[in-house]
Amino acid sequence: MRIPSLTLNDGHRIPQIGLGTWPLNDEEVADAVVAAAELGYRHIDTATRYGNETGVGVGIRRTGIPREEFFVTTKLDGPFQGDDRAIAGLADALQRMEFDYVDLLLIHWPRPWEDLYVSTWRTFERLKEEGLARSIGVSNFKPAHLDRLAQETGTVPAVNQIQLNPAVVRLAEREYHDAHGIVTESYSPFGGGRSTLFDDPVLVRVGERYGKTPAQVMTRWHLQSGLVTIPKSGNRERMAQNIDVFDFELDAQDLAAIDSLAGDEGNDSDRIGH
């Protein structure tokens, strides 16, 4: 089973389904990565802030699968913004994972009150040129932040990772990303926390039509909407369910019904997550 992928604006490809790893610790994430790889996952998402990069590296080595077959993302947050701090930040992350490079490096937050994300982006561009990050992107950025990157550096991220699910559809951001060649990646794709989406009557009804769970319907919605999704789990059974989505296809009526779940509130661009 091969998970479909999308082409990034730098020519690299990103699998549309990945394994989110927050808030697993090193031991938990190593086991999760092994289980995920056995099921067919090759895209692993972590961050320095999560404190589990070491476990991600351990897990990938334990699989016995060559490193180059995996797509690994990590993120650098506030302490690594400005003044080339990202150079040491990525070096430390790579040392923890025992990797020579990451496939995708993200600025974890724009932190606009510090006014450092443009200089951080320039550092990211250098890290990409040096081959330490194959692709570079951002997380939790709004169109205004992306506009400024483009205006002051002449480039845009390959990916913007944002909170996105059927209750928070972010249409304006997605339209902006599409217009500028940026892939939208969804974290908390099932709603996160104590999500009520698993009990939503629309998702339950659609799932019953195909013999699928609401979570599987949501994953399929992400795929057919041209999104990358990284549901987090340390449970092998749930991981298996999350990628058991290639034997059915939502029709136009299904997609419209799911799109309607968010309402006006679901287009709020001020939400910030992990």
Domains of the chain, by residue range, sit at: 9-193+227-233
Q: Mean per-residue pLDDT for 214-225?
A: 98
User: What's the confidence (pLDDT) of residue 266?
Assistant: 54
DSSP, res 253? H
The residue with greater pLDDT, 38 or 269, is: 38
In terms of Cβ atoms closer than 10 Å to its own Cβ (0-12, 13-18, 19+), residue 151 is: exposed
DSSP secondary structure string, 7-18? E-TTS-EEESB-
Active site residue 50: yes
> Which of 66-75, 189-198, 220-229, 232-241 is least confident?
189-198
Domain spanning 9-193+227-233: CATH superfamily: NADP-dependent oxidoreductase domain (3.20.20.100)
Q: pTM of the entire structure?
A: 0.95
| In the chain, % of residues over pLDDT 90 | 93
Q: Which residue in 50, 101, 117, 187 is the catalytic one?
A: 50
Q: Mean per-residue pLDDT for 174-179?
A: 98
The dihedral built from the CA positions of residue 182, 165, 21 and 39, taken in this order, carries a sign that is negative
Per-residue pLDDT of 130-171, as tens digits, reads 999 999 999 999 999 999 999 999 999 999 999 999 999 999
**pLDDT confidence tier of residue 2, bands split at 50, 70 and 90:** confident
Q: How far apart are CA 234 and CA 69, in angstroms?
A: 21
User: What's the confidence (pLDDT) of residue 219?
Assistant: 98
Give me the amino acid identity at 250. L
**pLDDT confidence tier of residue 196, bands split at 50, 70 and 90:** confident
The residue with greater pLDDT, 170 or 193, is: 170
At a CB cut-off of 8 Å and minimum separation 6, what does 38 contact? 63
Q: How far apart are CA 73 and CA 104, in angstroms?
A: 5
At a CB cut-off of 8 Å and minimum separation 6, what does 251 contact? none
